[in-house]
Amino acid sequence: MNSNARRRPRDLLRIEDLHVSFSLMGARITAVRGASLRVLPGKVTALVGESGSGKSVISQTAMGLQPPTARVSGRILFDDPLSDEGPIDILPLPRDGRKIRSIRGGRMGMIFQEPMTSFSPLHTIGDQISESLAIHSGLTGTEMRERCEDMLSRVGFSNPRKVYDMYSFELSGGMRQRAMIAMALVCGPALLIADEPTTALDVTIQAQILKLLRDLQQQMDMAVLLVTHDLGVVANIADEVVVIYQGEIMEAGPVETIFQRPAHPYLKGLMAAIPHFGMKRGDRLKPLREIEVDQDSLLSKKYQARTGPDVILSVRDLSKTFESRKDSWNMPGRHKEKPRPAVDGVSFDIRRGECLGLVGESGCGKTTVSKILMRAIKPDAGSVLFDDGKGPVDVLNASGAELQSLRTRMQMVFQDPQSSLSPRMTVGDILREPLDIHDYGDAAKRRMASKALIRAIGLDEASLKRYPHSFSGGQRQRIGIARALALGPSMIICDEPVSALDVSVQAQILNLLKDLQKDLGLTYLFISHNLAVVDYMADRVAVMWAGRIVEIAPREIIMTAPVHPYTRALLDAVPFPDLERPLNFETAGRASAVSRESWARVFRDDETGSEGMAPADLGGGHFVLARRNADMRELSS
C-alpha cells in the first residue's frame, strides 16, 4: 500500500476546505464555502460555473491575490517539483513576502480575463513581459529581451522584435491575449491559472488560443487550472472538471465521467442551458432560473398590426475605409499603401419580423455596419433604405423631423451593458431618458411607461430607484433591452448582446429576445460571433469576412450545407460540449488570412480584385461571393 502511495502522482496544487468571505456594509458575504479540489502535474483541470459562483475568487486566492478585506481559511498547498521543501501552504504566507513573490509569477503564472485592462497602456509589451524576468531571474537586459522575443514567437507572433516595442492598444483582442500568455509563461511556471482566457473572443481566435494553450502545456509539461463557463472549451481541452455553484463544489471528476454521466442536477441544468446546433424552431433553451416577464404591459397599437412592405431594411453597396493619422501623412519619398476597407460593398435585405444573423470574426466589419445603420459612422458610399410601413426613409441622408422619427423606429442593444448604461443615473432615469428626448407624454405618463418596461423584462418596480452597478451582468443587459424598447421600435440591432454572459444568463436573454420578437412583432439584426447562438435566434444568416458578405442563406442551409470555405471554417471552429465531436485544432486554429490561400480559386480575388467578385445565386435565397461568371460546378466542389 505504501509503494502504491509512492507511485501515485503528487498533487501540484491542492485546495482543502477553502472558505473566503468579504465584508460588505457591516455584514459578511461568503463567496467560497468549503471548496476542495486538486490540479495534477501536466494536466488541465477546468473549474466550471456561472458568473458569481466563486471561480475567480478561488483562482486569485491560489495566487495570493485576494483583496485585503477577504477573510480566508483552509489550506492551499503548492508542491513545486523543482523544490525539495515539499508542499507549501500559501495562505499563511505574508501577502508581499519574499516567499509568495518567488512563487507568484515565477512558479505560478496567471492569464487574466481582460487583457486590455491587465496591460499598462504606458509601457511597451516587452517592458511588461521582461518585468517578470527581472524579478525572478538573474538575466542581463540583452538576455531578457532574447527570452521575451522567443516567447512572443512561441505564442504566434510572426515579428516578435516589432511586437516587443509595441503598446497594448496597438494590438487586437486576440493578439493581446497571446501577449498575456507570453507574460504568464516567460518564467516557465509549473502551474498556469487561466481565468476565462477566451471569453468574448470570436470562434476562430478562440480556437487559435485553445490550440496555443494546449501545445504550450504539452511542450512545457505544465499544469493548467482553467477557469471558464464554456463547456465546449472544457470538452476540448480539460482532463479533469470541477463544477462549482454559489461557492460550493457540486461535482468533480474526469472529463469523460462529467460529460457522459453527469450526476448533479446543477450540472445537468447547465448543459441544458447551452444553445446547440440542430435545435428545432420551436425548441427553447432551459435557463437554470426562468425570469417572469410581462410583455402584455407593452402591447399596444404601436406594436401591433405591423403592415407595409416585406423588406423593412435594404442595404446596398456600403463601403467604409478608415485611415489613421499616420497613414494620411504625405511625406516625400514615403510609399503610401492603400488602406484596406473595413466595409467593402456590403448589400443585404432584412425582412419584416425576421431575425437576420450577421456572423464573422473580430475585425471583419460587423460592428462598423451596425454603426453605419445607426448613423454613428458615415460611410464612403452606399445606401440604406428603411420602411416599416410609414413610408421609405433614406437612412443616410435623413435630417430634421424625419431623422427624429427614424430614431424612435430603429434602436440598438449594445455588447457591454456596463459601459452603455450611465453609472450616474438610476434605472428609472435611464428608461425615461428616451421618452424625455422625444417628448413622450407628460411626466406621469413617462413614469407609467418606465414601470411597464421594467416589468416587461422581469424586474420589479423597486429596481427603478437603483443604479446599474447594483445589478448583475444579465440584469444590466435586460435593462439595456428595456431602454431599446422604450419608444416602440420596429427594428432592433443587437450587437453581441450575450457574448460576455455565462450560459445560464445567456439563455435567459435569448429567450427574452425571442419572446419579444414574437409578441411585439420586432425585426432583429443579430450580430454575433457565436454560431450556436445565431443558429438558435436567426431565420437567415449572413457571413462576413474582410469587410464583405461572403455567404447569405436561410439558417438551415448555412448550418448544414455551407458552400464558402470561410463559412465552413467558422463552423469547424465551434467547440461543442460533446466528447464525440472534438475540435480539429489543425484546421480550426489556423488564421483565416492563412487558410484563404487554400480556398478554391473561384473564391479568391487574387487576379480580379474585389471588382471581379459578385454574389452567385444558388437558389432558395442562397448567395455566395465568387468570381463573376463562375461555373456552378466549381462552387459546389
What is the C-alpha to C-alpha distance for residues 250 and 285, in angstroms, rounded to an integer? 22
The answer to whether the beta carbons of residues 35 and 29 sit under 8 Å apart is no
Alpha carbon 27 to its chain centroid, in Å, reads 34
Q: Which residues fall within 8 angstroms of residue 579, CB to CB, at 6 or more apart?
A: 235, 255, 256, 259, 260
pLDDT at 201 over 80: no
What's the confidence (pLDDT) of residue 298?
A: 62
The answer to whether the beta carbons of residues 318 and 377 sit under 8 Å apart is no
Position 355 confidence tier, pLDDT thresholds 50, 70, 90: very high
Match 425576421 to its residue by C-alpha cell: 354
pLDDT at 153 over 90: no
Select the more confidently predicted residue: 483 or 606: 483
The answer to whether the beta carbons of residues 328 and 514 sit under 8 Å apart is no
Alpha carbon 138 to its chain centroid, in Å, reads 39
| Cell output for 314 | 435594404
Segment among 90-99, 111-120, 217-226, 322-331 with least mean pLDDT = 322-331
The answer to whether the beta carbons of residues 442 and 522 sit under 8 Å apart is no
Report the predicted TM-score, pTM, of the whole model to 2 decimal places.
Answer: 0.82
What's the confidence (pLDDT) of residue 617?
A: 87
What's the confidence (pLDDT) of residue 303?
A: 47
Measure the CA dihedral 445/398/528/197, to 10°.
-90
Match 494620411 to its residue by C-alpha cell: 328
| H helix or E strand, kind and range, residue 66 | none
Q: Which residues fall within 8 angstroms of residue 509, CB to CB, at 6 or more apart?
A: 474, 477, 478, 481, 497, 498, 501
Position 73 confidence tier, pLDDT thresholds 50, 70, 90: very high
Indicate if the alpha-carbon torsion angle 27, 31, 32, 33 is positive or negative. Answer: positive
Q: Count other Cβ atoms within 10 Å, centred on residue 260.
A: 11
pLDDT at 7 over 50: no
Select the more confidently predicted residue: 29 or 73: 73
What's the confidence (pLDDT) of residue 2?
A: 43
| Cell output for 399 | 435630417
Segment among 32-46, 347-361, 401-415 with least mean pLDDT = 401-415
Angle at 48 between CA 43 and CA 53, to 5 degrees: 135
The answer to whether the beta carbons of residues 632 and 624 sit under 8 Å apart is no
Q: What is the pLDDT of the chain when averaged over all its residues?
A: 84
| H helix or E strand, kind and range, residue 444 | helix 443-456
Match 411607461 to its residue by C-alpha cell: 449
Indicate if the alpha-carbon torsion angle 269, 274, 275, 278 is positive or negative. Answer: negative
* Category of 454 on φ-ψ map: left (φ > 0), alpha (ψ -120 to 50) or beta: alpha
What is the C-alpha to C-alpha distance for residues 181 and 199, in angstroms, rounded to an integer? 14
Between the alpha carbon of residue 274 and those of residues 232, 251, 365, 567, the distances in Å are 9, 19, 27, 22
% pLDDT > 70, the chain: 91
State mean pLDDT over 479-508: 85
The 3-state DSSP class for residue 203 equals helix
Q: Count other Cβ atoms within 10 Å, centred on residue 422.
A: 12
Give the β-pairing of 343-351 and 44-48.
unpaired
Taken in order of first residue, the domains within the chain and their CATH numbers are 2-272 (3.40.50.300), 295-322+337-562 (3.40.50.300)
Select the more confidently predicted residue: 375 or 83: 375
What is the C-alpha to C-alpha distance for residues 149 and 118, in angstroms, rounded to an integer? 20
Alpha carbon 510 to its chain centroid, in Å, reads 15
The 3-state DSSP class for residue 254 equals strand
pLDDT at 6 over 70: no
Indicate if the alpha-carbon torsion angle 481, 459, 417, 487 is positive or negative. Answer: positive
The 3-state DSSP class for residue 169 equals helix
Amino acid symbol at 218: Q
| Cell output for 505 | 444568463
Between the alpha carbon of residue 591 and those of residues 232, 513, 598, 632, the distances in Å are 20, 33, 12, 27
What's the confidence (pLDDT) of residue 155?
A: 83
pLDDT digits (tens, 9 = 90+) for 492-501: 999 888 876 7
Q: Residue 637, CB half-sphere, CA atoms under 13 Å: how many?
A: 10
Match 444568463 to its residue by C-alpha cell: 505
| H helix or E strand, kind and range, residue 359 | strand 355-359
What's the confidence (pLDDT) of residue 373?
A: 94
Going by C-alpha positions, the residue among 36, 32, 82 that lies closest to residue 57 is 32
The answer to whether the beta carbons of residues 307 and 389 sit under 8 Å apart is yes
What is the C-alpha to C-alpha distance for residues 103 and 109, in angstroms, rounded to an integer? 9
Position 277 confidence tier, pLDDT thresholds 50, 70, 90: confident
Angle between helices 203-219 and 173-185 (to 10 degrees): 10
What is the C-alpha to C-alpha distance for residues 550 and 493, in angstroms, rounded to an integer? 21
